[in-house]
Structure 1
């Protein structure tokens, strides 16, 4: 799998990743949260008009709120297993020397960025990894791609029962399969990586990022090896089962008929809505996920519009917004420990030169 030898680099770091230097500040994070909250309020307003806010209020009052504790627990179970997948990917790339507590904060800090379109803000994790290990951004950036792809495959498996039964969401399923096949195929094809790097190298302005492309493709080739892909997908299958069970509890609390059928249907609804919103690249799936959950819950579970809308809002509160809260807390801890970095202080650039003298990262050979 190729060792990066990052253990010796823990501590002072260089920050280059081929010249890509995004600025991470508290102001930037604050703006993202404000925009997301605004979109969330717009979604709430839209559902209130559709389902009647008074009927929704009555549904909320009837909901047994003691169920919300296990709902949050199941969501956190999902996060913990996804952290396990994150740790597995770090081992696949041979990244050593990052203390467990720091790895935990880096991963959970990424949850604050799920409110970006297509969750691309989660590349903050690769940015932080370079900060703490010295491993180039481009080498670990494929982890985010692999996380999203294996999550998608896991959700597709969870939706399989509903796909066979209802025949709804087939275009979404086909889209996920085709996208996954293309990403994995290109990642494992050495000629594709060489061709992409050669094309970038010939282009003006971006030609200097050819090395970035080679590094990215090399990391992706490791992560998408069949064995690694299978392990990560199984982890995703178990972890996302937690959120599907959480949605089952929401539906049960809103008066849906209990039973195995409800659990299967709930897993299908949540999985298809999550996949659809991911493919549409809306920030955090806002609007698309809630609309999909509301419509499918009415159609397949038989809940009235108000209860279906409340079901969508409750599961999103217990998953998306809970994750954003946990991620923001993790980033706050990182800010408190490393204010110079997160506030863009020049002290990090001053330390980078001394770090470069003391330790250099050497890209590994290709994994093929």
Structure 2
């Protein structure tokens, strides 16, 4: 099962997609800033101190570390023979591929695992599925908590999104449902038996992930990690002069991230920013604050992750190639 023939080439091929989307997003946000007056927007941006930016980056880093620990936990579930350092290297390096459509480029993590350990793709693939599902479940729970604990957020939009997120996460990770879906698809298509055999093998590995001693730590890591990102949004808005409680901020951040992810655009570009500005406006926060807040929070979350990934990517590739060469000699 070939995943990414050349990760570096894949990264280069998808840069143009990122540049186009970034140009559209920057242009749209600039238009909003111009509509409110550049002076107000710039005053909001320049009001932040370096210490405050450091706090925002630290909260994002807590999220990444907790999710990296969850990745290592999932690797242990399927007995991938990697150390904690290797797991973090693979996980953080994969952030560089966030710019690919639907973040499919993050499959490079599977390639690195295979190159370093010869662990089969089909046995490691459920880790990626579970990682996505755990994030979706954590977002759904945070939205549900925001619905319960905040009277300020547009609650009517939170509850259905929370419910759908939890249902989708459950459907993606249930072994019986996955096996039934693969079998039904195989009977419908009736071709590529080797591919479907590998898919069924991958689906069989989902069972151990449903044990409580795996589910609860994984959910806790996602909940705390993404809560830190919502907390960062609250701090940022307060520093920019807008009063907002923690749960409305968490709900807005989670809903914006799910909205962006649903578009399939790299990193949710466009969708997440539009949703965040719109949701903040519904809270009565003026554009001269909501626009720079959206710009800053995306820089300290999405683009901070990509920057880390770009830095770790060549290191992860080096060790993966080195591991492959050692096995071939």
Aligned residues: 321
Displacement of 1:48 in angstroms is: 1.5
Match of residue 318 from structure 1:
300
Contact 2:126/2:202 (8 A) holds in 1:
yes
- Unaligned regions of 5+ residues in structure 2, if any? none
Rg (Cα) greater in structure: 1
Contact 1:75/1:243 (8 A) holds in 2:
yes
Displacement of 1:201 in angstroms is: 7.9
Residue 124 (structure 2) aligned to one of 131, 136, 140: 140
List per-residue Cα deviations over 1:24-55 (Å, max 9, x = no partner). 24232133234213312310110111232614
Assess, with a 3 A threshold, how the Cα gap between structure 1 residues 118 and 298 changes in structure 2: closer, same or farther. same
Runs of 4+ in 1 over 4 A off after TM superposition: 201-205, 336-341
List per-residue Cα deviations over 1:256-304 (Å, max 9, x = no partner). 12xxx5222111110111122222322211011111111111212x221
Structure with higher helix content: 2
For residue 23 of structure 1, give the secondary structure of its aligned residue in structure 2. coil
Contact 1:188/1:225 (8 A) holds in 2:
no
Match of residue 287 from structure 1:
270
Q: 2:176 aligned with 1:189, yes or no?
A: yes
Partners in 1 of 2:132 and 2:276 — Cα distance? Answer: 20
Structure 1 segment 172-183 matched on structure 2, within 5 A: 172-183=161-172
Partners in 1 of 2:163 and 2:63 — Cα distance? Answer: 25
Match of residue 268 from structure 1:
251
Displacement of 1:255 in angstroms is: 0.6
**TM, length-normalised to structure 1:** 0.79
Displacement of 1:113 in angstroms is: 1.6
Contact 2:48/2:240 (8 A) holds in 1:
yes
Match of residue 13 from structure 1:
none
Structure 1 segment 1-368 matched on structure 2, within 5 A: 19-52=1-34, 54=38, 55-96=40-81, 98-164=82-148, 165=151, 166=153, 167=155, 168-184=157-173, 187-189=174-176, 193=179, 196-197=182-183, 199-200=185-186, 203=189, 206-257=192-243, 262-300=245-283, 302-337=284-319
For residue 245 of structure 2, give the secondary structure of its aligned residue in structure 1. helix
**TM, length-normalised to structure 2:** 0.88
Partners in 2 of 1:76 and 1:325 — Cα distance? Answer: 12
Partners in 1 of 2:32 and 2:127 — Cα distance? Answer: 39
Contact 1:64/1:253 (8 A) holds in 2:
no
